[in-house]
Amino acid sequence: MARGFLMSKVPKSLLLFFNLLIYCFGLQFAVASELDATSQSLPWWKTAVFYEIYIKSFKDTTGDGVGDINGITEKLDYLQNLGVDAILLTPHYDSPGKDSGYDVSDYRRVMKEYGNNHDFDVLVSELKKRNMRIMIDVVVNHTSEEHPWFIESIKSKDNPYRDFYIWRDGVNGGPPTDNNSSFGGSSWEESKQTSQYYYHTFASSQPDLNWDNPRVRDAVYEDIRFWLDKGVSGLRFDAVADFVKPYDSKAQFEKFKSDTVEKVVDPKVHSYIKDMHENLFAGRDLATIAEVWRTPPEEIQLFTNPSNKEFNLAFIFDAIFIGRRSVWEAKEWSIPEFKRAISNVDRITGSNGWGAFFLSNHDNARVVSHFGNDSAEWRDSSSKALALLSLTQRGTPFIYQGDEIGMTNYPFKDINDFDDIQLKGYWRDLVETGTIDREYFLNNARQTNRDNGRTPFQWDSSTSGGFTTGTPWISVNPNYISINASSQVNEPKSVFNFYRKLIKLRKSNPALVVGEYRDLDPSHDQVFAYTRTLGTESFLIVINMTDYQVKYSLPNKLNRGKLILQNLPDQSSNSSLEFMDLRPWQASIYKLD
């Protein structure tokens, strides 16, 4: 009764104000609760930001010119400062190193150039101290020719390990079929010991395992379990769609061997992955991810749909292959084409699956050289623009080492400057046979080749960029004097610190993780504008992807919003979004009213 009396004495206008205040506070609390609940209910690998490390080129602690496991441990504080939650290692296993570790000779031993198993254990322990996780690269489509299984297999047709690999009789004095490998030349290699041929999807030094053999699958599971028991939290599976080969069908292989056409995936691949899930993944808090290069969308959905019990995520290559005609050849690309590819990456896994978002990795050119402008004038702003694009996508983001400081493509001059076994295979097939002009090939390789992403990390401006005290295994980019981590970590306006801000922003806003993605203006040939929306929370991202000023009007009249983050100094306090005067490579994120 007293409350009613007191309220009756309050003016109606003030009552309305109090009610509105209570309503707004309640709504804000409800939205905050919704977002917090969303974040807490997600598996760790959906909210995590990963950082891919190409071990050979990250940090050398022994002076032999090759990066090592201890070098990663030494730089964990740097990665923690960046804000990443997990690291992805390229292959760390013992290997003759003919394909940078993707030719494994012992699945249970660290490559001697990288250190030893104790070093790996220390790395895992130090990661745990920082509340960080580790994902390893699982290369089980093939082994090295120096793996004990293959050494036994090659001895005789009745050797117990013969069926660990794929052997066939020749036809008319030649290979069983005319299939070509992904690294050039025939996909069949003859063994003089038994006068039969073994199959290899990649180099002849990488014989393919026979996944149809249950003994192979069991042996693979045991080798993977060895690393899981050491504390590994994630598994990236290389060349998943190649596990079962169309090696007996020329018509089917015509699609399989193309650099641009989607490959056929044998249904048995899915049954084998399900078997692996049941025998290896089940009951573990793992992030499992499939590399599914050139794989049809319907197959990717099968790989990543949780009800199928295969993988958690997939690396989808639609965006990263924009501007590529083939493995080695570049082509012109447009911004609308790029936007369509990103929309495809968002859509391909379907409503139930989940993807990984990346614009560069160890097999591709540098992101700022490919999608941005790596000139001195625009490198900084375009690196930041591409960072904003990458870290506001739906899907788990993977940052490739060096992108966070704006590392660029290397100025290759001649074929001898390259180390890549794949490129040299194409050189033999195409240039040395006179099929492709030498300069045309080199001009394309300078833009596309994966050695661009494999040059040593540029830590500081000292000799060899602080990567090694010895002679690096491949040349350091000469621009390390001006582009290096040391000059950026404590510089608030650096590319590195822009990445830090973006990672922090993403982690504090579930809408930027799982929110709906919508491209607002797909056909615009200069500006990329899209929203990320979860419940009542919505963000607008606007990026000018050109080197010149653009006057831009949003197509659906989003008039008001608060600027949250921008890669260039803000020149106006005007919050109207209807008419924008965008500077070259300006990238902004707004929280919409």
Instruction: Supply the residues annotated as catalytic.
Output: 238, 291
The Cα 365–Cα 450 span in angstroms is 6
Report the 10 Å Cβ neighbour count for 197. 22
Burial 63-97 (b: 16+ CB within 10 A, else e): eebbbbbbbbbebbeebeebbbbbbbbbbbbbbeb
Using alpha carbons only, what angle is made at residue 249 by residues 246 and 250, rounded to the nearest 5 degrees?
110
Give the closest residue to 456 by CA, choosing from 443, 441, 469, 442: 469
Answer whether 295's CB lies under 8 Å from 241's CB.
yes
Q: Specify the amino acid at residue 400.
A: Y
The Cα 214–Cα 224 span in angstroms is 15
State both tokens at 327.
């493995």
The Cα 454–Cα 463 span in angstroms is 18
Look at residue 110 and give its three-state secondary structure: strand
Question: Helices 214-228 and 267-276 meet at what angle, rounded to 10?
Answer: 40
Report the 10 Å Cβ neighbour count for 471. 10
Q: State the sign of the Cα–Cα–Cα–Cα dihedral 475, 477, 479, 480.
A: negative
Answer whether 142's CB lies under 8 Å from 208's CB.
yes
* SS3 track for 500-547: HHHHHHHHCCCHHHHCEEEECCCCCCCEEEEEEEECCEEEEEEEECCC
The Cα 432–Cα 529 span in angstroms is 46
Using alpha carbons only, what angle is made at residue 39 by residues 352 and 298, rounded to the nearest 5 degrees?
15
Answer whether 94's CB lies under 8 Å from 110's CB.
yes
State both tokens at 30.
């409800």
The Cα 384–Cα 502 span in angstroms is 10
Give the closest residue to 347 by CA, choosing from 381, 302, 297: 297
Helices (H), 170-249: 214-228
Q: State the sign of the Cα–Cα–Cα–Cα dihedral 459, 460, 461, 463.
A: negative
Answer whether 137's CB lies under 8 Å from 238's CB.
yes
**Rg of the chain's alpha carbons, rounded to an integer?**
26
